[in-house]
Amino acid sequence: MFTRLSATMIHFLPALPIDHCPINVNHRAIMRILPFILLALLFTACMNAPEIERDNLRRGARDAEPEQHEAKRAELRTVLGGGADSPRDADPHLRATAAQGLGMLGYADDYEALLDALLGPLADENMLVRMECAIALGKLAYSGRTDERRLEVILQLRRRVAFERDDNGRLFETEFLVRSAMLNSLIAIGGRDSAAAIHDIASRIHSDLESTEAVFTSASDRGLLDRCFQGLAALTGVPLREAADNRFASDDLTDHIDWWASRISEMPE
């Protein structure tokens, strides 16, 4: 096949007289290397195809008109977790893009699909997909503080970041980037109940770090603890300088965590 393609392309090479051609064209040499050039082009096209598909999926969510949202959401949910008659997409990057799209569209009714892929019984095994689901949950447009969908998301994120564990005490979610994304979504959702959830997470992480029995801790847990304190400052409106002064006023970090409980109690419902 490549020989026929090569011969066809050679046919279209300019037939210039040698004395007028700036380069001495060796047709036999070109025919020998042309199949390899074609293979390289074909390979590049195959490699770019998934990226193009992801870009199209992302653009479709971003540019969808309001009347197209319902159909687009259904498409994204199918890519992410499958549907009644079709499995989820095999490409984890496409599934992650679908989660991004659901967050971009911002419909709170899609929280179940995102939670299922993040932490359900058949949670996605790919870290990037779970991270994007966690981020998307913080972008949904909940109707208010008492929205049951919002309350369920806060409850599930709180549990998953620090409390849900196997029989050996190991967290079900161990990836720092996923836990950090869940924590950031709690901050994005906001409100006193989110602040209380973050406080509970901080208390549990600190307890694990101080425990001589907790064997499944890592340096990244300290980073999550610091992020908890930053989030509490953002939600309560406490100046960072005031929070820092209190943190380093005592060697016992438990005192600082208790201090945050007082600040949260001053927040409006």
Q: Which residue has the higher pLDDT, 217 or 82?
A: 82
- Residue 207 scores a pLDDT above 70: yes
Look at residue 49 in the predicted model and tell me its pLDDT.
61
pLDDT band at residue 34, thresholds of 50, 70 and 90?
Answer: low
d(CA 155, CA 141): 17
Q: What is the pLDDT of residues 98-110, one digit of tens each?
A: 999 999 999 999 9
Q: What is the pLDDT of residues 35-65, one digit of tens each?
A: 666 556 555 544 456 788 888 999 999 999 9
pLDDT band at residue 87, thresholds of 50, 70 and 90?
Answer: very high
- Residue 22 scores a pLDDT above 80: no
Query: Taken in order 57, 81, 101, 94, is the CA torsion positive or negative?
Result: negative
pLDDT, the chain, mean:
86
Half-sphere exposure of 221 (CA within 13 A, CB side): 20
Q: What is the CATH number of domain 68-141?
A: 1.25.10
Q: What is the pLDDT of residues 125-140, one digit of tens each?
A: 999 999 999 999 999 9
Per this entry, what is the length of the chain?
A: 269
Specify burial of residue 107 (Cβ count, 10 A radius: 0-12, 13-18, 19+).
Answer: middle
Range(s) for CATH 1.25.10 in the chain?
68-141
pLDDT band at residue 231, thresholds of 50, 70 and 90?
Answer: very high
- Residue 11 scores a pLDDT above 70: no
Look at residue 1 in the predicted model and tell me its pLDDT.
45
Look at residue 202 in the predicted model and tell me its pLDDT.
97
